[in-house]
Structure 1
């Protein structure tokens, strides 16, 4: 049996004259985890879509299990045992967990659906994953982390020989990441090869065997994990040395700009806190602890009782519109579904929340003024795009996040809530986002940042509030706290 399961040679793919893959190479050994590293736009997504049969390369060859192919059809890729878990979920929200797992491959008894059998099979798969999920629950009612686990379980349950995981841990807590890694190790022992894409560099030492680095659609290098330092890997990936990961500086004052008292709904239990001018206030805790629910309640996206003061004035916020009117912005964790209108242009997405600034005579938009403003804020955030009239869906994840941020900066908001601001974003753009946040704080803008990445939480925040079961479990100063301390507070039961 050959040692290599997959060998891709000289893969070329162009879109309207733009080269997405330029003579790309990739060799994956059997029963190994092969990390794929590269900034957003480096060609990782195009490469895995080629393997999944979603696109066909213009030229090059794919050797798989000793056979040579020019490309795959989607059905052919599945039949060959190639499974992909994309970063964007592919679930039917109104169906149950079990329904989603076996969609198109439902066990039947005669002409009837054998629900008892597939509920049992679904439970067995999740027990193997070490995750407790109600397989009869509708997917739409699950937290993002559990939706991700359903995606992974759905693909892993098939007889895969090559499993491709695109940012699989982006929405998972530490315990869920450990469960995923256990599954990956189990699959490795069974001879399954895994292509693993992640921007979390710290994961690679723990789970990967080899790493291939891509940059600007081109192959850079393949090497064993551990053969060079994390800093050297990053330098190869971005083509330059990066400075300190987290920019320094604390700009908070004593002035209270947001005061929340006894915030309460079915997810949030009597939460009270203050946010100061120019402060970056972190919110930590496990997935499902109530961090996002606090943000949604403050922003008026979910109903809650309690008292909210903005700039010393008691306000009533019953909708996002009222939050915006009170100078509060909310960059959600799901930028594609809640932060952007994917079928609209970059220009329209930037100005959508500030149309009052570009309307001269209702209901007519002053197009030149709109273009000028959109370009100003796109340039301010160094957004990489071919033009403002391109669909926002054409941008990389990091540049989409910049468009969301540009939209809110244009509203002149004084309080900005960032929910998982760097999820699915490469290390280079992460540093840009961090610097933007520090620059905003320096200008006196106050920030609430929710993050599951504890190094990020400690590195960027001034103070950190830790949530547990919808309540505030504790508060620490970022300058003298540790990851272990935060985790201990997040896990400790009263």
Structure 2
């Protein structure tokens, strides 16, 4: 690899915005046929680097090389024409168009007189989709696909060009385990073709599974490159955040109170059935299972987004009926959703308005909202949750993922719930912010909240939960205490196996 020219190289890149030096002399290179991780906390400069390489921003200083040639990227289409392809975390698809039209948007094959050659378009697309082992075809309307399948359409775009380097930005955030396997096979195939892969992810297990080298950015500066096989998670984390991170689980140091919420025989059609559990004030109850196990659907039922087909929900020992989010809020149940950007926030709105949105009617002074009361609530929870923002007027879409999540949590805490449900609390959040969110959830439990955490990450649920409900195919397989749970027995339970390894 050392005798080759890099497929892509940045040399001394500087990019400044008013008051912010987003990139400060950043240099790194990806070699042909290697998977190169680009890591850093939210705000470290990863996204700005991608936008410079993609021609969205022009650098103030420095040079981009494709192979040996100094290159200027004038636009995303220009970057793609030069062999630099991006698979973005945030989907950029036209939902009303077909899969084929999305994949070849701007490059549709033409016949005479400028007419689209539909037969060629569909044939090319189906050939690419066959490599990805997906269940849909070229003519499928993108809006009819799941989020995970839409992500596969984004990935398919990378296979349409003679790529020199492909950037994957959090590509597995919405994929199932089976789809991840296909993605890694696609990446391995691109490697064999000599394509350089830049892999951006906060998921350490993926980084150590598929990458060759790891480059780290911090505060807009290049901090170094490590050989993946010669380093470990602790060293990478310290390079990313500039300090050692305590990844050990803190022991329960406060007293657990009464049962706040209990579920008996809860069912919802084929989504889940005969679910029993309870969560007490002062504890974190974790839910863990494979995609489709029914975890999110249970949370949606508790929050009034789904009606159960059977069973009971009890608050403080009394049966309650919850038919809408308004019912849930009135009963003291709040939900931080899995998709914070799509369901938890209004990205174009400021921080204060996002935080006080559910209680606007309660903050009115006559026909107008009392601005002082709103600002007071924002200031209180900004301090309580350590939300890093210049002030309440900041647009929430400009915040890091960790601070956005804190805004959503603050929004519901300001409603003073008894039960706080948090679905995938750290999805798309860097390792430093993850630690802050974990500590926050533990602290909320110590203050007497009953906290339910739903997570697809085993280290997270092991780290933060006092008890863990393991689910498989819509059923509760087993509930573990933190003292008795191990990785092995947890994996067995979420795979549908009993404690002795037999199918349940």
* TM-score past 0.5 threshold: yes
Q: Tell me the distance in 1 between the aligned counterparts of 2:84 and 2:316.
A: 55
**Paired residues for 1:69-468 under 5 Å:** 69-106=71-108, 121-133=124-136, 138-249=141-252, 253=256, 255-261=258-264, 262-265=266-269, 267-306=271-310, 307-356=312-361, 358-359=363-364, 361-468=365-472
Segment of structure 1 superposing worse, 472-481 or 126-135: 126-135
Segment of structure 1 superposing worse, 336-345 or 317-326: 317-326
Q: Cα distance, 1:486 vs. partner? A: 2.8
Provide, for residues 66-113 of structure 1, a one-character-per-residue CA deviation record: whole Å limited to 9, x for no partner.
221244311110111111111111223344544533444455777876
Q: Tell me the distance in 2 between the aligned counterparts of 1:293 and 1:134.
A: 28
For the 8 Å contact 2:7–2:195, the answer to whether it is kept is no
* Change in 2 beyond 3 A, CA 1:165/1:473: same
Q: Cα distance, 1:287 vs. partner? A: 1.5
* Change in 2 beyond 3 A, CA 1:254/1:390: closer
Q: Tell me the distance in 2 between the aligned counterparts of 1:51 and 1:443.
A: 46
Q: Tell me the distance in 2 between the aligned counterparts of 1:79 and 1:114.
A: 21
* Change in 2 beyond 3 A, CA 1:206/1:471: same
Gaps in structure 1 of 5+ consecutive residues: none
For the 8 Å contact 1:61–1:71, the answer to whether it is kept is no
For the 8 Å contact 2:314–2:320, the answer to whether it is kept is yes
Q: Tell me the distance in 2 between the aligned counterparts of 1:133 and 1:287.
A: 19
For the 8 Å contact 2:73–2:79, the answer to whether it is kept is no
Q: Tell me the distance in 2 between the aligned counterparts of 1:305 and 1:113.
A: 49
Segment of structure 1 superposing worse, 125-134 or 85-94: 125-134
Q: Tell me the distance in 2 between the aligned counterparts of 1:151 and 1:209.
A: 24
Segment of structure 1 superposing worse, 212-221 or 304-313: 304-313
Partner of 2:273: helix, strand, or coil?
coil
Partner of 2:434: helix, strand, or coil?
helix
Q: Cα distance, 1:449 vs. partner? A: 1.1
Provide, for residues 227-275 of structure 1, a one-character-per-residue CA deviation record: whole Å limited to 9, x for no partner.
3332122111111111234433275736222122323145333433322
* Change in 2 beyond 3 A, CA 1:463/1:97: farther
Partner of 2:500: none
Partner of 1:386: helix, strand, or coil?
coil
Instruction: Tell whether 2:476 aligns with 1:472.
Output: yes
* Change in 2 beyond 3 A, CA 1:275/1:109: farther
Segment of structure 1 superposing worse, 397-406 or 458-467: 458-467
* Change in 2 beyond 3 A, CA 1:286/1:92: farther
For the 8 Å contact 2:257–2:448, the answer to whether it is kept is no
Q: Tell me the distance in 2 between the aligned counterparts of 1:127 and 1:251.
A: 54
For the 8 Å contact 2:286–2:455, the answer to whether it is kept is yes
* Change in 2 beyond 3 A, CA 1:39/1:188: same
Determine which of 66, 72, 77 is the counterpart of 1:64.
Answer: 66
Q: Cα distance, 1:186 vs. partner? A: 1.3
For the 8 Å contact 2:418–2:450, the answer to whether it is kept is yes
Q: Tell me the distance in 2 between the aligned counterparts of 1:70 and 1:429.
A: 34
Provide, for residues 279-318 of structure 1, a one-character-per-residue CA deviation record: whole Å limited to 9, x for no partner.
2222221122222122112211233333322222222222
Gaps in structure 2 of 5+ consecutive residues: 497-502
Q: Cα distance, 1:165 vs. partner? A: 0.7
Q: Tell me the distance in 1 between the aligned counterparts of 2:476 and 2:100.
A: 34
Segment of structure 1 superposing worse, 423-432 or 253-262: 253-262
Q: Tell me the distance in 1 between the aligned counterparts of 2:187 and 2:148.
A: 17
Q: Tell me the distance in 1 between the aligned counterparts of 2:340 and 2:380.
A: 21
Partner of 2:74: helix, strand, or coil?
coil
Determine which of 2, 5, 26 is the counterpart of 1:3.
Answer: 5
Please give the root-mean-square deviation of Cα atoms over the aligned residues, in Å.
2.5
* Change in 2 beyond 3 A, CA 1:290/1:219: same
Q: Tell me the distance in 1 between the aligned counterparts of 2:104 and 2:272.
A: 34
Q: Tell me the distance in 1 between the aligned counterparts of 2:480 and 2:443.
A: 23
Q: Tell me the distance in 2 between the aligned counterparts of 1:69 and 1:99.
A: 29
For the 8 Å contact 2:5–2:67, the answer to whether it is kept is no
What is the total number of aligned residue pairs between the two structures? Answer: 493
Partner of 1:336: helix, strand, or coil?
helix
* Change in 2 beyond 3 A, CA 1:467/1:150: farther
Q: Cα distance, 1:157 vs. partner? A: 4.0
Segment of structure 1 superposing worse, 277-286 or 258-267: 258-267
Q: Tell me the distance in 2 between the aligned counterparts of 1:134 and 1:274.
A: 44
**Paired residues for 1:34-53 under 5 Å:** 34-53=36-55
